[in-house]
Amino acid sequence: MAPVGSAHGYDYDLVVIGGGSGGLAAAKEAVLLGKKVAVLDFVEPSPRGTTWGLGGTCVNVGCIPKKLFHQAALLGESLHDAGCFGWNIPERKSITLDWPKLRESVQNHIKSVNWVLRVELRDKKVEYINAKGTLIDAHTVHAKLKNGTEKELKANHILLAMGGRPIYPDVPGALENCISSDDIFSLPEAPGKTLVIGAGYIGLECAGFLNEFGMDATVMVRSVVLRGFDQQMANLITEEMTSRGVKFLHKSVPVSMEKQADGKVKVTWKSLADNSVSSDVFDTILMATGRRPLTLEVRADQVGVKLDPQSHKVVSDRELTNVPSIFAVGDILQGKPELTPVAIQAGKLLAQRLYNNGKTEMDYDNVATTVFTPLEYGCCGLSEETAIERYGEDKIEVYHAFYKPTEFFVPQRSPARCYIKVVCLRNSPQKVLGMHYMGPQGGEVMQGYAAAIKMGLTMEVLMDTVGIHPTVSEEFTRLWITKRSGIDPTPQSCCS
């Protein structure tokens, strides 16, 4: 794409709708390249009335608060370990979580990030407009400011980066009686006995930390746990969470939700297996059944942007929509990973291609991610199912092993589901197609291997790599047992 020398009669070279990670990354990169840029950001209150500041889902109601709540859960678990290692710790049952204190600490951090982002935009000369943006035509954005005033912004390029919001299914009482991930991290009081509807990574992570906080947590699963992820690993996560006390209602869907006189909610659900109907009363219902893109809200369809008819996500090639002046990044793209670092990278590279003759395009393959369940699951590349589907079972080799983290021995924590596997091509040098890890610090373990996979990692190289002992990450360098061999992948000792 040829660089743009000036706004060419427009108010801006680039107007970004959405103040999340992808939009901010593109805006800041464009300004560094000498372009005039405006960012519009406005948060519609959730059905519960929750709002937040600049930074999008990740900063306010996603990755950041989720990781902090997960860390709080890990710290609670470590109290037991500390006593076993000689620290004089009170009986764990006498130690309780102060939810309002946790909420305050996390929200204070989020507000500090909101402020830093505002200052950063000001310093970089990005015009920030706290307004709801909608498309009028291919070069015009209508902005309705928080105070009610309205104006139009003319731009040579428009970037859609609005992200999405939680879906509320059409179930009687759902909208009035449920919260979502938009609300959980700012609840003034602990949610208590909670039903999580949905078994994607958001639902599992929330159920995981609530259970670790000592609350009753149940997950309602319509079809499968962690759809789109490796299903062997998903089953291990389910088993691990069940062993820790999380309850699962498999093959079930909600039928109705009724507020009781004491403020609790009676939920009735149906089993898809036998059509039986059951009910129970919960303090909190957390809806985690997916997210919808905000493409219709900005009228993308009205100006001709091609959307997927089912998901309403943008059908895009290289972040370019079918309207030449309109681009899109982040969670609103059809078939792309809904991950913050993906949006950031795509936004930066797009700005470089638009304004600096850049040639590098976003690589959406082999993007590593981690599900922050109590025992974390990190992965990069293809699932075992996808690899077999793509290449054929006879051309795939799967190396695997259970392992025992050294730090689990003294407190006698169960390593039953600490498991790794590498999916690769069967022919030498056995190119690695996917890596899967379940255990402590899944994100930290997988990040480095992601770079190796991107560089063409093979099993020959991995087996020839000397591990750092004793770590959990070294377990990948010790793999030698294949599923095809039928050999027991359970180790006899930490150094076996």
* Dihedrals phi, psi of 368, to nearest 5 degrees: -75, 150
Is 306 flagged in the annotation as binding? no
Distance of CA 300 to the CA centre of its chain: 25
Fold identical between 169-288 and 375-485? no
Catalytic annotation on 469?
yes
Residue 389: partners with Cβ closer than 8 Å, 6 or more residues away:
none
Q: How far is CA 496 from the centre of its chain?
A: 35
Single-letter residue type at 83: G
The token duo for 47 is 């059905």
Q: Please, what's the largest Cα pairwise distance for the chain?
A: 72
Find the Cα–Cα–Cα–Cα dihedral 393, 449, 351, 141, rounded to 10°: 70
Give the class (CATH, top level) of 169-288. alpha beta
Give the rounded distance of the alpha carbon of 410 from its chain centre: 33
95 is in an annotated binding site: no
Contact 73/58 with Cβ under 8 angstroms? no
3-state secondary structure the chain: CCCCCCCCCCCEEEEEECCCHHHHHHHHHHHHCCCCEEEECCCCCCCCCCCCCCCHHHHHHCHHHHHHHHHHHHHHHHHHHHHHCCCCCCCHHHCCCCHHHHHHHHHHHHHHHHHHHHHHHHHCCCEEECEEEEEEECCEEEEEECCCCEEEEEEEEEEECCCEEECCCCCCCHHHHEEECCCHHHCCCCCCCEEEECCCHHHHHHHHHHHHCCCCEEEECCCCCCCCCCHHHHHHHHHHHHHCCCEEECCEEEEEEEECCCCCEEEEEEECCCCCEEEEEECEEEECCCEEECCCCCCCHHHCCCECCCCCCECCECCECCCCCEEECHHHECCCCCCHHHHHHHHHHHHHHHHCCCCCCCCCCCCCEEECCCCEEEEEECCHHHHHHHHCHHHEEEEEEECCCHHHHCCCCCCCCCEEEEEEECCCCCEEEEEEEEECCHHHHHHHHHHHHHCCCEHHHHHCCCCCCCCCHHHHHHCCCEHHHCCCCCCCCCCC
Beta strand 12-17 with 37-40 is parallel
Buried b (16+ CB within 10 A) or exposed e, 107-137: beebeebbeebbeebeeeebbbbbbbbbbeb
Sequence-separated contacts (24+) of 142-147 with Cβ below 8 Å: 143/40, 144/42, 146/42
List the catalytic residue out of 70, 139, 436, 469: 469
The answer to whether 375 touches 367, Cβ cutoff 8 Å, is: no
pLDDT in tens, the chain (496 residues): 433 444 578 999 999 999 999 999 999 999 999 999 999 999 999 999 999 999 999 999 999 999 999 999 999 999 989 999 999 998 877 889 999 999 999 999 999 999 999 999 999 999 999 999 999 999 999 999 988 899 999 999 999 999 999 999 999 999 999 999 999 999 999 999 999 999 999 999 999 999 999 999 999 999 999 999 999 999 999 999 999 999 999 999 999 999 999 999 999 999 999 999 999 999 999 999 999 999 999 999 999 999 999 999 999 989 999 999 999 999 999 999 999 999 999 999 999 999 999 999 999 999 999 999 999 999 999 999 999 999 999 999 999 999 999 999 999 999 999 999 999 999 999 999 999 999 999 999 999 999 999 999 999 999 999 999 999 999 999 999 999 999 999 986 665 5
Cα separation, 417 vs 438, in Å, equals 7
Q: Is 202 labeled as ligand-binding?
A: yes
The reply to whether 155 sits in an annotated binding site is no
- The reply to whether 204 sits in an annotated binding site is yes
Q: What angle do CA 11, 16, 22 make, to 5 degrees?
A: 150
> What is the CATH architecture assignment of 375-485?
2-Layer Sandwich (3.30)
Give the model confidence (pLDDT) of 82-136 as tens digits.
999 999 998 877 889 999 999 999 999 999 999 999 999 999 999 999 999 999 9
pTM of the shown model: 0.95
Annotated binding residue at 200?
yes
Is position 13 annotated in a ligand binding site? no
In CATH terms, the superfamily for domain 12-58+103-166+292-356 is: FAD/NAD(P)-binding domain (3.50.50.60)
Pairing label, strands 284-287, 396-402: unpaired
Q: What angle do CA 236, 241, 247 make, to 5 degrees?
A: 120
Domain ranges in the chain are 12-58+103-166+292-356, 169-288, 375-485
The pLDDT score that the predictor gives to residue 147 is 87
The answer to whether 331 is annotated as binding is yes
